[in-house]
Amino acid sequence: MRKSILFLAGFAIYGVLMWYYLFHGANSALPVDLKGSAADPAMFMTDRELELSTDFSRIKDFLYFISVPLEWLIYLFVLGFGLSRWFRKASSGLTKFSIVHTGVYVLLLSFASWVLTFPLKYYSFTVSKSYHISVQSFHSWMRDSLVDFWISWLLTTVMVAVMYWLIRKNEKKWWLYAWMLSIPFTIFMYFIQPVVIDPLYNDFYPLKDQVLKEKILKIADKADIPAENVYEVNMSQKTNALNAYVNGIGSNLRIVLWDTTLNKLTDNQVLFVMAHEMGHYVMNHLYWNLISSVILSFLGLWLGNMLYRKWIEKYGKSWGIKGVGDLAALPVLLLIFSLLSFAVSPVENAVSRKAERDADLYAIEMTKNPKAAVGAFQELATVSLSEVNPPKIVKWFLYGHPTMLERLHFLDSFEAIKTKETKKKQ
């Protein structure tokens, strides 16, 4: 109980400090030399939009930095108050099949976590609604949340069942075998994501605007991309935000545009966005993401195994855990993986920002229309209420893309930079 009080007190102090930093202490002032440029939000946002973008972004950032340690506290709560032992007991007497034991245990743990985090998630939803970013009904939002829950439960059950079977077979090398099995599983998930999982949330269909579609396919042909179609998705039923992306691998690779993007951007701006997504394909970013995922999973499982064994050895008895192969130790493993994922996220984001910068460069060289590129990001920032120059800690932990300030300044200065480079070569 004493430790629980200390943890809660520490969490409360952390929350207050993070709130103060984000809303009062963080410096996100625009550099003096960029005032009046295309990167200056005052040049394309109204005073009210500037105020809303700052408030909305800081609230969402604060919710993220609260939700992560809250997840850790939940795992510790489940362990410290004996809930994990109770989950194990409740699931073990149902049947002789271990996969059912695992499924029921994961269901109980997932449901407990879902209930405890629901208030924060619901508040995040209401914030998006109040700032007119989300237009999704509560019923639709709950449907998506439940789809998330059951997909996560199914995948987690399979992975946990395999991991604990391996642990019981070989306590020392289970992590290596788990990593080897994770490679085909990761590839499989990359392959089915666009055609099986994504359609569970939204309707995808070929781009309706045939003229724009021909222009996009012309760029694809110029880039030697064997694209036969471009997809749009009806996100306007849920949000006013803009987005486009490329996901999947092999024959299941898809280039996707949200219909909100089509509604808000001009054709030239859309072509820049599409050229950016094609840049990811041309530079093999999806495959590099896959490779990095495999490498990080190796390091994560290796380090996670060492921490897991030490924590079970030190705290297992007080938590009522019988050993590393005890299913009741799952919260320990999930806590360790969550901590490692959070710790490595700044590095992952830095690599991702470099890839996005390269894709921007590819797109601007392909379309040769800096004005459309700048206009696209200005519209994206305005509609999505994106903070143009977020605090450093937010950029490190949350931004897999360059900040709007960085992107707009880069694209606005592109012609000047190219002219300077040409003169140097001469």
| Residues labelled as active-site residues | 277
Q: Torsions phi, psi of 302, nearest 5?
A: -65, -55
Give the number of C-alpha atoms closer than 13 A to the C-alpha of residue 190, restricted to the C-beta side.
22
β-sheet bridge partners, residue 239: 134
Judge contact between 372 and 414, C-beta under 8 A.
no
Residues whose CB falls within 8 Å of the CB of residue 115, separated by 6 or more in sequence, listed in order: none
Give the number of C-alpha atoms closer than 13 A to the C-alpha of residue 110, restricted to the C-beta side.
19
Reported in sequence order, the residue ranges of 130-271 that DSSP labels E, i.e. its strands, are 204-206, 231-233, 244-247, 254-258
Give the number of C-alpha atoms closer than 13 A to the C-alpha of residue 267, restricted to the C-beta side.
10
How is residue 311 written in tokens? 């924590």
Rounded to whole angstroms, the Cα distance separating 278 from 272 reads 10
